[in-house]
């Protein structure tokens, strides 16, 4: 798969944010049990996002695409958290702040400066946790900086670079395998011990791309391992390594990289039947039986398959990189910035129906 070098900095953050989804409408999880920082958040009417041209936080109406600067502070590149009508972000001075959207008030909430790394702050069971410059863990609860319990510190140190919430369990994965964390009693159990590139869940199973680039599954205990496909489901021949699984209506979708091809494949989880959806696919998104994909980073074309009918949409000004979300006929994409000085890429909207 060809990759655009200019966006190598921002893509790992966006991929992490994307893979943390558990519901069709974008949200890290409905219970707010665990929230990781990201570059955008979609609610029922608006999208909140960091504009990488000035690194300020904006809000836009999904229908009218009206863009309004929400917070004038410049944030660093670790993202922000949306929680209960508030935006939690790390200002470029190193401290953590909270912005109340309704009251338009900003409060400094960290006593110490945060470490300069992605994942430096997160929400766990309604409390805000952050790592200071010495990598010590702190907890902010009800506006107070409190002592962290040993069990909380243990959980924080066992969260890998990717996460997903299933009920009261936090599944986190990466180079070391898969950890299952009970967020009620803070118990950590490693349920898979080899590298995992991408993970998705459906019903009572975990589906993932293993270290051999195969599509595999286990139950939620990490047992009953099954190889779903021997296809190479991850491309590591170019400048950037990516893999992706999506599940919709009991069907699993992934890109198969074989013989210099990148074919979008669908597997029916009921009977295991495999079928080809499209050729030469660079990225895709599946929701409500709609398969959306593009085959070129350069030509601005998006293709949607709905009820076996194909429709094509164009925006010749955009060079697509990654499909982030699809909501209310609005496709949310990361695309190459039209500002030549912006090497991160920008979030754009495309209406498709």
Give the pLDDT score at 201: 93
**Residue 129: is its pLDDT beyond 60?**
yes
- Assign 10 a pLDDT band (cuts: 50, 70, 90): very low
pLDDT for 271-292, tens place per residue? 999 999 999 999 999 999 999 9
pTM of the model: 0.86
- Mean pLDDT of the region 325-351: 86
pLDDT for 188-207, tens place per residue? 999 999 999 999 999 999 99
Neighbouring CB atoms inside 10 A of 104's CB total: 9
Output 173-179 pairs: Cβ under 8 A, ≥24 positions apart. Answer: 173/199, 173/208, 178/206, 178/208, 178/222
Provide the b/e sequence for 44-70 (b: ≥16 CB within 10 Å): eebbbbbbbeeeebbbbebeeeeeeeb
User: Can you tell me whether residue 206 is helix, strand or coil?
Assistant: strand
- Assign 9 a pLDDT band (cuts: 50, 70, 90): very low
What mean pLDDT value characterizes the chain? Answer: 85
Give the pLDDT score at 242: 64
Full set of structural domains in the chain with CATH = 32-157 (2.130.10.10)
CB distance 315 to 331 below 8 Å:
no
Q: Which residues neighbour 2 within 8 Å (Cβ) at sequence distance 6 or greater?
A: 238, 282, 297
């Amino acid at each position: 798969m060809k990759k655009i070098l200019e966006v190598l900095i921002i893509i790992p953050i966006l991929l992490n944010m994307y893979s943390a989804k558990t519901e069709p409408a974008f949200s890290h999880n409905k219970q707010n049990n665990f929230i990781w920082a990201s570059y955008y958040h979609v609610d029922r009417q608006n999208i909140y996002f960091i504009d990488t041209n000035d690194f300020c936080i904006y809000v836009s109406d999904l229908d009218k695409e009206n863009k309004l600067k929400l917070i004038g502070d410049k944030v660093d590149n670790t993202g922000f958290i949306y929680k209960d009508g508030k935006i939690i972000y790390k200002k470029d001075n190193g401290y953590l702040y909270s912005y109340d959207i309704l009251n338009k008030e900003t409060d400094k909430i960290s006593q110490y400066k945060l470490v300069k790394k992605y994942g430096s702050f997160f929400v766990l069971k309604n409390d805000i946790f952050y790592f200071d410059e010495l990598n010590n863990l702190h907890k902010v609860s009800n506006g107070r900086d409190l002592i962290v319990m040993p069990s909380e510190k243990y959980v924080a140190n066992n969260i890998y670079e990717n996460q997903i919430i299933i009920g009261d369990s936090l599944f986190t994965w990466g180079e070391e395998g898969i950890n299952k964390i009970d967020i009620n009693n803070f118990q950590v159990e490693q349920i898979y011990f080899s590298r995992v590139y991408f993970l998705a869940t459906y019903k009572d199973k975990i589906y993932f791309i293993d270290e051999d680039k195969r599509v595999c599954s286990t139950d939620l205990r990490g047992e009953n391992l099954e190889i779903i496909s021997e296809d190479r489901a991850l491309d590591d021949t170019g400048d950037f390594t990516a893999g992706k699984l999506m599940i919709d209506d009991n069907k699993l979708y992934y890109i198969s990289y074989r013989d210099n091809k990148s074919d979008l494949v669908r597997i029916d989880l009921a009977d295991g039947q495999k079928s080809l959806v499209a050729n030469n696919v660079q990225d895709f998104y599946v929701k409500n039986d709609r398969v959306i994909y593009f085959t070129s980073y350069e030509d601005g074309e998006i293709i949607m398959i709905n009820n076996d009918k194909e429709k094509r949409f164009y925006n010749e000004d955009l060079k697509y990189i990654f499909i982030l979300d699809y909501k209310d006929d609005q496709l949310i994409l990361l695309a190459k910035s039209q500002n030549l000085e912006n090497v991160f890429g920008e979030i754009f909207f495309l209406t498709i129906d």
